[in-house]
Amino acid sequence: MIPVLDSRNYLARLLAAKRPGVDAVLAYYEYRVGAIVKDGSLMLAPLDDHMFHRGDGVFESMKFAEGRLYQFEEHMARLRRSAESICLEPPCPWSDVRTAALETTRAAGAAIGHLRLFLGRGPGSFGVDPLESPQSSFYAVVTRFTPQPLSWYEKGLTAFRARMPARPACFSHIKDVNYLNAVFMVMEGRKNRKDIPLCFDAEGHLAESAVANVCLVDKEGALVVPEFTHALPGTTILRAVELVRDRLACVTRPIPEAEIFEASELLLLGTSPGCVPLVEYEGRQIGSGERGPVARLINDLLDEDLRLSGLLF
């Protein structure tokens, strides 16, 4: 028989329930509550928020190190663009979203970690009509982050062609919370014992990975970036192009799959890893099969850029 509890006893059970990963939470903020808490077990959100049961929301994830948030303004600008794309306004002025993000990061008391910001349609019902939610929602959470060792970068990762197609063009510039396509790609990679799934558009052009962008270095040494027609324009890859533009040629154009096999380097770029070499694709070696000079250069430039331009909090 399932017990029916009063709110006090139910809350006690809820807080005592085991939650994997809760120790990684360093600080949490929810707009409705208007306060920050450092107890990860209290990172709770209403199930009827349309962000959770309908995917009606957007988010951003950024890292900080040495007390500096990397590309904070760029992430905030993309969060706003994503929200505007789905006609979503935060429950407070954007300046307050910015302030809460910084204060939550500061409250975590860590020199290195991840900051994630979520804007949702808000609680109110289990329907699909946005008007059923009287107020949007805003959450900020800071979690632990342990960088990969140098040996991980030197070894590189393996990649494969995922069965999941690239995201539709109408969603390519929206960082929404519906990542089911990425989940399928990761599951396929685990089944195939490969690290990184790559997806392609209907014309067979390279789009992106599950949660990161991909580009290559061609035989002439130019950095070739896929067009963002079916991929989210990542803050890391865009910044990397800016940083290397005066050192090597950079081109943005469609990339047929055949060019991957001819590349001297294949690169994965994302918020957490920075720049990681993909040394194998579909069972075939890429370039020398080792971490190449462009991968090293981009990672060094990104690390330096964080120290020089990261926002102190």
pLDDT in tens, 210-223: 999 999 999 999 99
Query: Quick one: pLDDT at residue 137?
Result: 98
Cα 203 from chain centroid? 26
The dihedral built from the CA positions of residue 140, 142, 148 and 150, taken in this order, carries a sign that is positive
Domains 7-143 and 150-312 share a fold: no
Predicted pLDDT of residue 230: 97
The predicted model gives 245-262 an average pLDDT of: 97
Would the pTM of this model clear 0.85, i.e. be above it?
A: yes
Mean pLDDT of 100-124: 98
Backbone angles phi, psi at 268, to 5 degrees: -105, 130
Percent of the residues in the chain that have a pLDDT greater than 70, as a whole number: 100
Instruction: Give the strand pairing for 157-161 and 274-281.
Output: parallel
Give the confidence band of 241 by pLDDT, cuts at 50, 70, 90. Answer: very high
Sign of CA dihedral 253, 256, 257, 260: negative
Q: What is the pLDDT of residue 31?
A: 98
Can you give the residue ranges of every domain in the chain? 7-143, 150-312
Where would I find the beta strands (DSSP E) of the chain? 25-30, 35-37, 57-65, 68-69, 113-120, 137-143, 157-161, 196-200, 206-209, 213-217, 223-225, 250-252, 265-270, 274-281, 284-285, 311-312
Q: Does domain 150-312 have CATH number 3.20.10.10?
A: yes
What torsion do the CA atoms of 228, 231, 234, 236 make, to the nearest 10 degrees? -90
Q: Which fold has domain 7-143?
A: D-amino Acid Aminotransferase; Chain A, domain 1 (3.30.470)
Tens-place pLDDT, residues 164-210: 999 999 999 999 999 999 999 999 999 999 999 999 999 999 999 99
Q: What percent of the chain has pLDDT over 90?
A: 100
Which pair of tokens denotes residue 275? Answer: 């720049």
Torsion of CA 151, 245, 227, 289, to 10 degrees: -30
Query: What does the pLDDT read at residue 249?
Result: 97
Quote the crossing angle between the two packed helices 72-85 and 94-108, to the nearest 10°. Answer: 130
Q: Which pLDDT does position 286 carry in this prediction?
A: 98
Question: What is the tens place of the pLDDT at every residue in 277-287?
Answer: 999 999 999 99
Interval 78-104 mean pLDDT: 98
82 token code pair:
């994503």
Position 238 scores a pLDDT of 98
* Mean pLDDT, the chain, integer: 97
User: What span, in angstroms and rounded, lies between the C-alpha atoms of 117 and 101?
Assistant: 7
Give the up-direction half-sphere exposure of residue 121: CA atoms within 13 A in the CB hemisphere.
Answer: 26
225: its two tokens: 């970036």
Q: How far is CA 12 from the centre of its chain?
A: 33
Q: pLDDT digit string (tens) for 6-41? A: 999 999 999 999 999 999 999 999 999 999 999 999
pLDDT for 270 equals 97
pLDDT at 46: 96
